Amino acid sequence: MSKFLPKSVQKLIEEFAKLPGIGPKSAQRLAIHLLHSPDSRVKDLGEAVSGLKKGILFCEECWNIAEKSPCGICSDPGRNKGIICVVEEILDVVALEKTGEFNGIYHVLHGALSPIDAIGPDDLKLAELFKRIKNRPDVTEIILATNPSLEGEATALYIQKYLQNFSGKMTRIARGLPVGGDLDYADEVTLGRALKGRGEF
Amino acid sequence: MSKFLPKSVQKLIEEFAKLPGIGPKSAQRLAIHLLHSPDSRVKDLGEAVSGLKKGILFCEECWNIAEKSPCGICSDPGRNKGIICVVEEILDVVALEKTGEFNGIYHVLHGALSPIDAIGPDDLKLAELFKRIKNRPDVTEIILATNPSLEGEATALYIQKYLQNFSGKMTRIARGLPVGGDLDYADEVTLGRALKGRGEF
């Protein structure tokens, strides 16, 4: 890549450039930035990377990342174990927790169905979800909070079909206009959904 | 930041977010990406960061980063020691070397004069440049290749005034580069042309 730089710098540029959204130029800038940073900053980052997976595991109930299994959310007696919110990714849990609007528990699928990327049901934590629902007759609601994308909708549909004999409620997260958004700038599909999903005042 | 994630993940997100051009959201994405990456990838990146400054020093002639002092360029008998190209940053050397148009040696200032950022002559390797020129009567040309920006022009002007009694040629890299641009982002051809088309002060 940059054969005019010392080996250790080249190496870091190569590693940075492997990260998503970081091109060769940004990788160079980051490496040079670190080179000019105090040793303690570089040490902190190095240790944070190396220590990332230390003590990290997947909760064997909800498949979120955690420091213990079951995780803090699954073992919290204050949370309603009767409502399971199904999401695609770990960061979706973070986003939902930040709203402070949800007091149930989660199930992280680790992806969405996508034939084009060869991601089928076996690549996701779907079997685990179905087993979990089967073993837990106290579950009264399943919220399908996969992304409102082609893959997310397909995944939600798949779960809904598979669990059609589920006795509780099965809901889909509302699709509509983002708060603070502009009706006039919304795409037709979103606007159509917002209209269809309209609720009483 | 994300109090809903394990500590080691939070820590890495914080460290990533300190890097230039990486916001909290990108930092989250990068950390989660690494979490899903093979252990060897994570280990490689961690070691590359931690090992970045190992064996790295500044060449005490040109102030470029190197594994030894004098650096590979300064100690290369095949290079013309009579031409010194003055640049702002380490990456500018990389960019110029890539053009293959320059066979002299460099002097890295590590910045440019910028009163607004309180960067004065003492913050740059200017005294080192002047001393170097004084001790080396064999220098026949000084190419001022600072950025074609306000700060870069000011720095070039400062050097030109300081060295007005210099007996050799003093040239400025041609402003074939867009004014206000950044030397290290220019493509090789433009940069090569700019180097070839340099004119007398």
What are the pLDDT digits (tens) for B149-158? 889 989 999 9
pLDDT, averaged per 10 consecutive residues of chain A (201 residues), comes to: 78 94 92 92 94 91 92 93 94 89 94 94 96 93 92 94 92 85 82 80 74
- The span from the CA of A141 to the CA of A55, in Å, is 32
Across-strand partners of B108?
Answer: B87
Residue A38 sits at the chain B interface (C-beta within 8 Å):
no
- The span from the CA of B84 to the CA of B4, in Å, is 55
Is the pLDDT at B199 greater than 70? The verdict is no
Task: List chain A residues with CB under 8 Å of B8.
Answer: 48, 51-56
User: In this structure, what token pair is assigned to residue A65?
Assistant: 């990342």
Task: List chain A residues with CB under 8 Å of B100.
Answer: none
Is the pLDDT at B2 greater than 60? The verdict is no
**Residue B179's pLDDT band (boundaries 50, 70, 90)?**
confident
The whole-number average pLDDT for the span B166-178 is: 84
Residue A21 sits at the chain B interface (C-beta within 8 Å):
yes
Phi, psi for A24 (deg, rounded to 5):
-60, -40
- The span from the CA of B13 to the CA of A49, in Å, is 10
Is the pLDDT at B104 greater than 70? The verdict is yes
How do residues B12-41 score in pLDDT, each as one tens digit?
A: 999 999 999 999 999 999 999 999 899 999
3-state secondary structure chain A: CCCCCCHHHHHHHHHHHCCCCCCHHHHHHHHHHHHHCCHHHHHHHHHHHHCCCCCCEECCCCCCEECCCCCCCCCCCCCCCCEEEEECCHHHHHHHHHHCCCCCEEEECCCCCEHHHCECHHHCCHHHHHHHHHHCCCCCEEEECCCCCHHHHHHHHHHHHHCCCCCCEEEECCCCCCCCCCHHHCCHHHHHHHHHCCCCC
Q: In chain B, count of helices (H) and strands (E)?
A: 7, 7
User: In this structure, what token pair is assigned to residue B15?
Assistant: 């460290």
CA torsion through residues A103, A104, A110, A114, sign: negative
User: In this structure, what token pair is assigned to residue B172?
Assistant: 């400025």
Residue B151 sits at the chain A interface (C-beta within 8 Å):
no
Cis peptide bond prior to A178, omega within 30° of 0: no
Specify the pLDDT at position A1: 43
Specify the pLDDT at position B200: 73
Is the pLDDT at B7 greater than 80? The verdict is yes
Q: Which of A175-189, B42-56, B70-84, B118-132 has the lowest mean pLDDT?
A: A175-189
Residue B103 sits at the chain A interface (C-beta within 8 Å):
no
How close B199 gets to chain A, by Cα (Å)? 27
A126: left (phi over 0), alpha (psi -120 to 50) or beta: alpha
**Which has the closest alpha carbon to B87: B184, B189, B194?**
B184
Residues 6 or more apart whose Cβ sits within 8 Å of residue B151: B112, B113, B114, B119
Q: Report the Cα A129 to chain-centroid distance in Å.
A: 16
How do residues B69-97 score in pLDDT, each as one tens digit?
A: 899 999 999 999 999 999 999 999 999 99
User: In this structure, what token pair is assigned to residue A180?
Assistant: 């603070």
Domains, chain A: 7-50 (1.10.8.420), 80-172 (3.40.1360.10)
User: In this structure, what token pair is assigned to residue B167?
Assistant: 């007996």
Specify the pLDDT at position A3: 66
Q: Is B186 exposed, middle or buried (0-12, 13-18, 19+ CB in 10 A)?
A: buried
Q: Tell me whether residues A29 and B52 touch, CB distance under 8 A.
A: no
Residue B120 sits at the chain A interface (C-beta within 8 Å):
no
Q: CB-CB: which of B26, B43, B50 is closest to A43?
A: B50
Residue A66 sits at the chain B interface (C-beta within 8 Å):
yes
DSSP-derived 3-state class of residue B55: coil
Across-strand partners of B36?
Answer: none
Q: Tell me whether residues B32 and A6 touch, CB distance under 8 A.
A: no
Q: What is the mean pLDDT of chain B?
A: 90
Specify the pLDDT at position B106: 96
